[in-house]
């Protein structure tokens, strides 16, 4: 029955409006596997214009189909067509996943909370990245509920996983909204003081896998970045983007200044920095960024209630990994990750330390909204 439904969905998308609108759905059987004693599956969500496939392994977005200016559909996220390729992946680990319990980097792989020091895995040189060796991306999440356009995930990261204290109870909802957006809502609680900073790590290319993003245009609503050292740990100050390659206050091509002689670009081997989102001090849902592809006309707007957004320009893709439709080429995708500031627990100038205490609830909303435009 499931295969029949998927076939009908594809046929309707092809036939509608008399245009060629093909959505090549991945076979759900490719993700039917037991991992760590739990069932992994592939789920398909849809609304009027978007189709998304997600798996509960790492709560990953496997594919996200959006129309171009002519109504033709394309998959705008990088990923794989089989669960084994995620499990045995030797390339980019975080494709389409939720990352945490503390996204981004923690210097030295240690934290101190309530007077007790905890040793974390050093999975990024001398630092901890995206929660450590297991994190949230290597967890098989429970699926609490599904509808035609939404899915609710739940997991509990146990006390001591990756060295972090506290049982962190997380509920996360993915929704394809009526205004053609992919919305993510996070909630988390803990029974012991811990860190909590969750983020979404889809790699977007509005032309699709196998293409460079250097000609795609980006605008970021942030006039300050967090400069970093050579290990991508924040230096602790705030740096204006004015008259630097980091000025995306007005939209311009990602590749326009990416190879400029600049210490920060050298440290990141391109863009791999946190922007401070302008006017987002109140926790409201505000505009963070807009990505536009002149070739297809696809446009993606990012909104969030977080103060920070990490822009990563796919600097470590080397073309060796083969995705669903093409190679993961160097600078062949961008990640736009809304989050709290990295390494906040160690930074005197960062007021929000990403600490979650018992009795508190962590909340975070991120929206990726898709439209088309001529320019």
Q: Is 201 labeled as catalytic in the residue annotation?
A: yes
Please tell me the distance from the alpha carbon of residue 353 to that of residue 349, in angstroms, as a whole number: 10
Q: How remote is the C-alpha of 72 from its chain's centroid?
A: 24
Please tell me the distance from the alpha carbon of residue 330 to that of residue 326, in angstroms, as a whole number: 12
Please tell me the distance from the alpha carbon of residue 96 to that of residue 101, in angstroms, as a whole number: 16
Question: Sheet of 224-226: strands edge to edge?
Answer: 239-240, 224-226, 272-276, 308-312, 335-339
Q: Quick check: 351 and 175 in contact, CB under 8 A?
A: no
How many helices (DSSP H) and strands (DSSP E) are in the chain?
A: 3, 28
C-alpha triplet 236, 239, 240: angle, nearest 5°? 160
Which is it for strands 142-146 and 150-157: parallel, antiparallel or unpaired?
Answer: antiparallel
3-state helix/strand/coil string of 187-230: EEEECCCEECECEEECCECCCCCCCCCCCCEEEECCCEEECECC
List 92, 209, 337, 364, catalytic entry: 337
Please tell me the distance from the alpha carbon of residue 114 to that of residue 108, in angstroms, as a whole number: 18
Q: Quick check: 65 and 47 in contact, CB under 8 A?
A: no
Residues 6+ apart with CB under 8 A from 156: 167, 168, 169, 170
> How many residues are recorded in the chain?
375
Q: Quick check: 233 and 354 in contact, CB under 8 A?
A: no
Number of neighbouring beta carbons within 10 Å of residue 130: 26
* DSSP secondary structure, 317-375, as one string: --S-SB-SSSB--TT--BEEEEESPTTGGG-TT-S---EE-TT--EEEEEEEEEEE---
Q: Is 337 labeled as catalytic in the residue annotation?
A: yes
List 130, 200, 201, 364, catalytic entry: 201
Supply the residues annotated as catalytic.
201, 337
């Amino acid at each position: 029955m499931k295969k029949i439904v998927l076939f009908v969905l594809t046929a309707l998308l092809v036939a509608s409006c008399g245009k060629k609108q093909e959505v090549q759905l991945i076979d759900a059987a490719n993700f039917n596997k037991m991992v760590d004693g739990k069932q992994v599956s592939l789920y398909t969500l849809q609304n009027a214009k978007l189709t998304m496939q997600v798996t509960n392994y790492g709560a990953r977005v496997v594919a996200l189909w959006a129309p171009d200016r002519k109504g033709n559909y394309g998959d705008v996220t990088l990923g794989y067509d089989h669960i084994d390729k995620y499990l045995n992946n030797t390339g980019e680990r975080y494709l389409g996943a939720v990352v945490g319990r503390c996204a981004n980097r923690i210097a030295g792989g240690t934290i101190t909370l309530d007077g007790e020091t905890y040793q974390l895995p050093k999975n990024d040189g001398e630092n901890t990245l995206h929660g450590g060796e297991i994190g949230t991306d290597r967890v098989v999440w429970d699926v609490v509920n599904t509808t035609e356009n939404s899915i609710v995930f739940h997991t509990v990261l146990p006390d001591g996983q990756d060295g972090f204290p506290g049982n962190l109870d997380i509920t996360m909802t993915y929704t394809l909204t009526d205004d053609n957006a992919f919305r993510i809502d996070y909630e988390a609680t803990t029974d012991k003081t811990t860190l909590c900073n969750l983020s979404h790590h889809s790699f977007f290319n509005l032309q699709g896998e196998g293409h460079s993003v250097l000609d795609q245009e980006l605008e970021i609503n942030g006039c300050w970045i967090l400069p970093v050292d050579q290990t991508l740990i924040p230096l602790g100050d705030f740096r204006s983007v004015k008259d630097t390659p980091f000025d995306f206050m007005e939209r311009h091509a990602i590749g326009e200044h990416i190879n400029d002689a600049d210490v920060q670009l050298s440290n990141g081997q391109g863009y791999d920095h946190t922007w401070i989102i302008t006017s987002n001090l109140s926790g409201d849902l505000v505009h963070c960024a807009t990505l536009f592809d002149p070739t297809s006309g696809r446009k993606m707007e990012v909104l969030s209630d977080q103060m920070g957004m990490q822009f990563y320009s796919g600097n470590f893709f080397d073309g060796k990994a083969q995705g669903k439709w093409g190679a993961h080429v160097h600078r062949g995708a961008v990640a736009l990750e809304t989050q709290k500031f990295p390494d906040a627990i160690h930074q005197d100038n960062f007021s929000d330390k990403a600490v979650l205490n018992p009795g508190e609830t962590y909340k975070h909303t991120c929206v990726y909204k898709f439209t088309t435009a001529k320019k």
